[in-house]
């Protein structure tokens, strides 16, 4: 029963995110990307978490609002930990530990 629910959720998510112009990766079904001119945005799905990143903060905000309308997201802010890995960003780059 639970497998069925997660598949239905993912099917709904897939339809919604693709309608917003994102493309599902052939290499990793949980990765979605969007490129518009110089703007690049990526979403990575893991169970019930969505990591959103990119080089355009406006596109990221639009994507979060779009998803929130259908999925009622809770924004946890800037990434600090994922999969037990500490992540920190600076002007010099991204540090993972």
pLDDT digits (tens, 9 = 90+) for 33-91: 999 999 999 999 988 789 999 999 999 999 999 999 988 888 888 889 888 899 998 88
Q: Report which listed range, 4-13, 19-28, 84-93, is most confident.
A: 19-28
- Kindly give the residue spans of alpha helices, DSSP state H, lying in the chain: 2-19, 57-71
Cβ–Cβ < 8 Å for 77, 57: no
Q: Torsion angle, CA of 78/86/74/70, rounded to 10 degrees? A: 90
Q: Give the total number of structural domains in the chain.
A: 1
Domain of residue 37 covers 2-96
Q: Model pTM greater than 0.85?
A: no
**Residue 2: predicted pLDDT:** 58
Position with higher pLDDT, 25 vs 76: 25
Cβ–Cβ < 8 Å for 73, 79: no
């Amino acid at each position: 029963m639970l497998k069925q629910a997660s598949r239905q959720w993912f099917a709904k998510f897939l339809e919604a995110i693709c309608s917003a112009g994102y493309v599902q990766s052939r290499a990793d079904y949980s990765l979605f990307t969007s490129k518009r001119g110089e703007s690049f945005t990526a979403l990575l799905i893991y169970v019930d978490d969505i990591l959103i990143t990119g080089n355009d903060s406006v596109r990221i905000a639009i994507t979060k609002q779009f998803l929130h309308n259908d999925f009622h997201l809770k924004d946890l802010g800037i990434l600090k930990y994922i999969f037990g890995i500490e992540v920190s960003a600076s002007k010099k780059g991204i540090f993972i530990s």
